[in-house]
Structure 1
Amino acid sequence: MTDHRPTIMLVHAHPDDEVISTGGIALKYHEQGARVVLVTCTRGEEGEIVDAELNTPENKARLAEIRDVELARAIALLNITDFHQLAYRDSGMINTPANEHPESFNKADLQAATGRLVALVRQYQPDVLISYDENGSYGHPDHIMAHKITVAAFHAAGDPSQFPEAGPAWEPKKLYYTAYRRSIWRKAWEYMQARGEKTPLDDPEADLSRYVDDPRTTTAIEIGQYLPIKLQSLLEHRTQIGPTWGFLSLPEELRGELLSHEHFALIESRVSLPEREEFETDLLLGIR
């Protein structure tokens, strides 16, 4: 029997998502000797180019290729060496024409897409699977699809009768959703409003349900010491993220307060865990 290295698999929709909600844990668990595997579902070709210098028709036409390079640079900083790109077409934001593109992730066959992820689960044998909640964190069609295939793969990978062509069965132990806690976003937005900056709270129809109710959050991983590298990695996604993006525009003290932890919701565990009144502080609790 070979020794099993504790492994966490991240299933994300687009390049840059891996940094925003899980960049800190990638750094932390790598340093602790665990393996972190990243699966990115699309190449992000529907993204908006926020850098005016880069926002040209030529770059828009080759945005998928540019974002491939940005992603490679970002994950190198996160010490992620096990990476797989499923390379579906970006479906675009909800209710946009890109939703109907026949090659979009949104239109992919759920069974086939799940089978591709099951094969990776069986190959890498992750103890922990992490993706988004049923609303895809903020309603993006690709995030919702990533959620669907991750949940399906979590339940199918350990069943040898399902996807027998995908390799020997492997059963992940824990399933988590990323948790964008509503209280943290609101605090950031209120600060930005006070400075006269535009935020989603300016819209009277702002849908705050897109973020996670604080009580649903079960797990808080302290990543403060890794925050500078995480933010450096985020800025490698230059077409999508600029120095004034979201939390990056906040003063350093407030940014550190709001970004010192990455939050998750434990959805299913196949290992016994102690009852807790406080947040769980280790994704590999009960595994190592």
Structure 2
Amino acid sequence: MVTPTMEPMSQHPQPPARQQQPHRPYDGLRLMHVHAHPDDESSKGAASTARYVDQGAEVHVVTCTGGERGSILNPRMDRPEILENITEVRRQEMERARDILGIRQHWLGFVDSGWPDGDPKPPLPEDCFAVAPLEESVEALVRIMREVRPHVVTTYDERGGYPHPDHVRCHEVSVAAFEAAGDPDRFPDAGEPWQPLKLYYHHSFNRPRMEALHAAMQAHGLESPWEERLKNWIPEPEWDERITTKVECGDYFGVRDQALLAHATQIDPDGHWFAIPRELQVDVWPTEDYELVVSHVARAEHEDDLFAGIDAPGGTL
């Protein structure tokens, strides 16, 4: 049985000051993001995370693996001493990102599966998250859900966002844990049952967003980082139509960028993450986008808030 752990908040510096809000409408509400690796919390939904933290919500991130088998994607960090200590380095990066975002972070306790490269693809390592017994992983996440008692949970779609084995497994584990957490007959030794009210999938990397940013870059005479990707991307309009929820968070793109840079082994400061000026992003696409998959409260056709329909201490949002 894997024992999940949570990194304490009190012994670390406070996140940098953010825009002051006139009120904190999310006091008493809890949001949980479930991610595959350290850095995923910063590349998917980080600006909306920063907004919810700043406006009073308690935000938890569950990181399923330690990212031990991830490649080093920043040339400045591709050094022997980094490779030799990659597990500890990525934990330190996660700590820095956690403090920047103001979240509470939990390690689910599994080992990175790595990216299987080749044709045919080689078998996955025997000790990795993607091949661990599903019930073991689900119980570990249910235990955290029952401890934290989130009102809202986010994770990846059935494709994993992209087909990394850990991302696909993260989806499977998250959906199963969401369903099991409130069932007293499932995992009775994992804490008192708690049913989260809403489950969302991330859809930040959607084609309409990339097309809009690409067009804006061209209109300003700038080189777009998405040109080749869009050429090779087969349109799937029905996929993009799944987006139900657009969270305004442009004021927090700066916090997102700081959190990304904390993951120095994964994020090249001269790479595509920062190729589009932040001001242009805020002007063209100031939201992060989600798909509402399960709701135990009244749902609207279109939302602008992950907590929409949930009773907050001050009234229904």
Q: TM-score, normalised by structure 1?
A: 0.88
Asked if 1 retains the 8 angstrom alpha-carbon contact of 2:224 and 2:275, the reply is no
Cα deviation for residue 202 of structure 1 reads 7.5
SS in 2 for 1:53: helix
1:162 to 183, 186, 195: 186
Partner of 1:246: 272
Cα deviation for residue 143 of structure 1 reads 0.8
1:184 to 190, 197, 209: 209
2:143 to 86, 110, 119: 119
Name whichever of 90-99 and 174-183 sits farther off: 90-99
Asked if 1 retains the 8 angstrom alpha-carbon contact of 2:211 and 2:230, the reply is no
1:88 to 82, 90, 110: 110
- Which amino acid is 2:28 matched to? R
Cα deviation for residue 196 of structure 1 reads 7.8
- Which amino acid is 2:266 matched to? Q
SS in 1 for 2:64: strand
SS in 2 for 1:145: helix
Structure 1 unmatched runs, 5+? none
Cα deviation for residue 148 of structure 1 reads 0.5
Q: How does 1:44-193 map to 2 (within 5 A)?
A: 44-80=67-103, 82-95=104-117, 100-179=124-203, 180-188=205-213, 191=217
Name whichever of 212-221 and 167-176 sits farther off: 212-221
Q: TM-score, normalised by structure 2?
A: 0.80
Cα deviation for residue 203 of structure 1 reads 7.1
SS in 1 for 2:106: strand
**What's the RMSD between the two structures over aligned residues?**
2.5
- Which amino acid is 2:36 matched to? A
Q: Whose helix fraction is larger, Structure 1's or Structure 2's?
A: 1
Cα deviation for residue 252 of structure 1 reads 3.5
- Which amino acid is 1:181 matched to? N
Asked if 2 retains the 8 angstrom alpha-carbon contact of 1:43 and 1:89, the reply is yes
Cα deviation for residue 197 of structure 1 reads 5.8
Partner of 1:217: 243
Cα deviation for residue 195 of structure 1 reads 2.9
Change (3 A) 1:44 1:151: same
**Deviations along 1:240-261, whole A, 9 cap, x unmatched?**
1122232411133433345521
**Count, aligned residues:** 279
**Deviations along 1:190-212, whole A, 9 cap, x unmatched?**
658973868652875x5666x98
* Counterpart-to-counterpart distance in 1, 2:143 and 2:281: 39
Change (3 A) 1:252 1:129: closer
Cα deviation for residue 99 of structure 1 reads 5.6
Change (3 A) 1:98 1:55: farther
Change (3 A) 1:17 1:208: farther
Cα deviation for residue 178 of structure 1 reads 0.4
Structure 2 unmatched runs, 5+? 1-26, 313-317
Asked if 1 retains the 8 angstrom alpha-carbon contact of 2:225 and 2:272, the reply is no
